[in-house]
Amino acid sequence: MSSSQPRSVLIVGAGLAGSLLAIYLARQGCKVLVCERRDDPRRAGYTGGRSINLALSARGLWGLAGVGLDRHVLDHDAIPMPGRMAHPPSINAPLAFQPYSKDPRDAINSVSRGGLNITLLNAAEREPNVTIRFGLRCTDVDLDRNSAIFETSTGQFVHESADLIAGADGAYSPVRYRLQKNDRFDYSQTYLQHGYKELCIPAGPNAAHAIEKNALHIWPRGGSMMIALPNRDGSFTCTLFWPFQGDHSFEALEGALADRRRAAAPNDPLPQPTDAERQAVVGFFSRHYPDAVPLMPTLADDFFANPTGSLVTVRCSPWRHVNRDGTAVVILGDAAHAIVPFYGQGMNCAFEDCRALAELLAARGLTDLDDTLAEFERIRKPNADAIADMALDNFVEMRDKVGRAEFLYRKRVEQAIHDLFPDRVFPQYNLVSFSTVPYTEARRRGRELDQFLDRIIPQLPMSAAPAMPDADWRARVHAIAESEWRKQPA
């Protein structure tokens, strides 16, 4: 390869990361071919299937800003959610809105995966250097030839070569699967004992939202939860996160039907839920999610029609394979580090990957991919590991702690210290969602703050707070924090 010629890049996957990376690299002068397994969602209708609704925040916006799309997406595809709305188990208890930040402009943004993907595909196709081809399923990568092999919908096989192959092909990445066969490839896939299922709260009259539009709704139930994110058409996408087995589980409500379906012969009509099974679902929701049931007219239909998905964390290394002739394969986004959705960071982290990789390639060209891709992984891998950990931790916070008074009090203390010492204290959630400091630093500072709160709160317990005017309480927080810092300098 000579450094004066434009370089060829093959991106496997035209999902969110693949289409964004295509825009970056095309603008840097690369010739970009993107091959996608699915059909064109602009023609076929979006068939992303089991996607969880997405929460776009600072890191994702930073990734979009590098190609000038952040403002467009916020204006056309997003609904800001400046806080959580916790729904108690009793229909008589009040809803509790918990702002994410003292600054009301700090919001995460509900976006439709399908809509955002189409926005990115349209922008990518406006680039003269980008070609996107659909209906090509990657079956393997020939590392020696640096080519990817695709199967067409008619069963033919197509080989595509490039100087750089970028696998943006998701949690079950065929590109990563080929790297995994290399000697000394570290790899792990770990599933939660919880699965997920999407449900729906349809729009009210005149596309009105049936519950608060500008909030991420949570029904925390200890070992499980439901969440709901607003859509711009007035509906909400609800997602259950329940154990597969045991109490409050998917198996308890749909296990018998699943058994009948597995037992059915291939030519039999698909067994359907009985009336008793449908009533059991509605009854269960009426007990545990009583305020949601009246808003979910298709609850029983959706529950049995929509699949139950699993939740995987993937970690691996190295993310790259570099040939002697300088051509290379790299993976990014979910392909390199699939995470659970509980911090709303999967897409945000993938967009950070895209911009980080594009900036390294812009600064160094595609002539020394060995060093450049090693540097990409050196920068990004510790951060991917950090958000993977934080996402797993946040599941406990969302499904259990959010509903507890102790947690709300802890958040109040945390926010007060943040207000009083804004340069010194920044809650982990805010660092992750409203800043672009590295995830590793967000995790480190989050842990420090947690230990600090463990020392503060016993000196000003929840039981003491109701009797104190807010100003007095804050003055007391201020004094305790200062005294603690004197003991243990930052």
Other CB atoms closer than 10 Å to residue 139's CB: what's the count? 14
108-111 and 216-220: which strand pairing?
A: unpaired
- Binding span for a copy of itself by CB under 8 A among 94-102, 134-142, 181-189, 289-297: 181-189
SS3 at position 227: strand
Q: Which is nearer to a copy of itself, 43 or 184 (CB)?
A: 184
Q: How far apart are CA 228 and CA 239, in angstroms?
A: 6
When the beta carbons of 190 and 451 are compared against a copy of itself, the nearer one is 190
What contacts 285, CB < 8 A, 6 or more positions away? 292, 293, 296, 299
CB-nearer residue toward a copy of itself: 229 or 314 = 314
Reply yes or no: is the peptide bond before residue 461 cis, omega within 30 of 0.
no
Stretch that binds a copy of itself, among 118-126, 179-187, 437-445, 467-475 (CB under 8 A): 179-187
- State which of residues 5, 122, 189, 483 lies at the interface with a copy of itself (CB under 8 A): 189
DSSP 8-state assignment for residue 85 = E
Using the contact rule CB under 8 A, the part of the chain among 92-100, 185-193, 197-205, 277-285 near a copy of itself is: 185-193
Interface positions, 271-330, toward a copy of itself (CB under 8 A): 310, 324
Q: Which range in 186-194, 250-258, 364-372, 454-462 contacts a copy of itself by CB under 8 A?
A: 186-194
Closest contact distance (angstroms) between CB of 315 and a copy of itself is 8
Spatial contact of 212 and 218, defined as CB atoms under 8 Å apart: no
Q: Does residue 262 interact with a copy of itself by CB under 8 A?
A: yes
For the bound state, the minimum distance from the C-beta of residue 77 to a copy of itself, rounded and expressed in Å, comes to 31
State the chain's maximal CA–CA distance in angstroms: 75
Nearer to a copy of itself, 263 or 270 (CB): 263
Of 84-92, 182-190, 362-370, 472-480, which part binds a copy of itself (CB under 8 A)?
182-190
Whichever of 5 and 180 has its CB closer to a copy of itself, that residue is 180
Distances (CA, A) of 5 to 28, 163, 324: 12, 11, 19
> In angstroms, what is the minimal distance from the CB of 305 to a copy of itself?
19
Stretch that binds a copy of itself, among 176-184, 233-241, 249-257, 327-335 (CB under 8 A): 176-184
* Closest to 86 (Cα-Cα) out of 287, 229, 227: 227
* Minimum distance of a copy of itself from residue 337's CB (angstroms): 14
Q: C-beta of 307: minimal distance to a copy of itself in Å?
A: 11
Backbone phi, psi, residue 474, to 5°? -65, -40
Among 2, 247, 263, 363, contact with a copy of itself (rule: CB under 8 A): 263
Q: 128: helix, coil or strand?
A: coil
Q: Which of 2, 3, 92, 188 binds a copy of itself (CB under 8 A)?
A: 188
Amino acid identity of 293? V
Among 186, 247, 275, 423, binds a copy of itself (CB under 8 A): 186
Determine the residue type at 98. Q
- Label residues 70-89 b or e (16+ Cβ within 10 Å = b): beebbeebbbbbbbbbbbee
Considering only residues 74 through 133, tell me which ones interact with a copy of itself, judged by CB under 8 A: none
Q: How far is it, in rounded angstroms, from Cα 4 to Cα 1?
A: 9
- Cβ–Cβ < 8 Å for 298, 99: no
Q: Interface with a copy of itself includes 190 (CB under 8 A)? A: yes
Strand 54-56 and strand 108-111: the pairing is: antiparallel
The residue to which tokens 């005294």 are assigned: 483
Q: Judged by CB, which is closer to a copy of itself: 220, or 318? A: 318
**Alpha carbons within 13 A on the beta-carbon side of 115:** 17
Q: Which residues bind a copy of itself (CB under 8 A)?
A: 180, 183-191, 244, 262-263, 310, 324
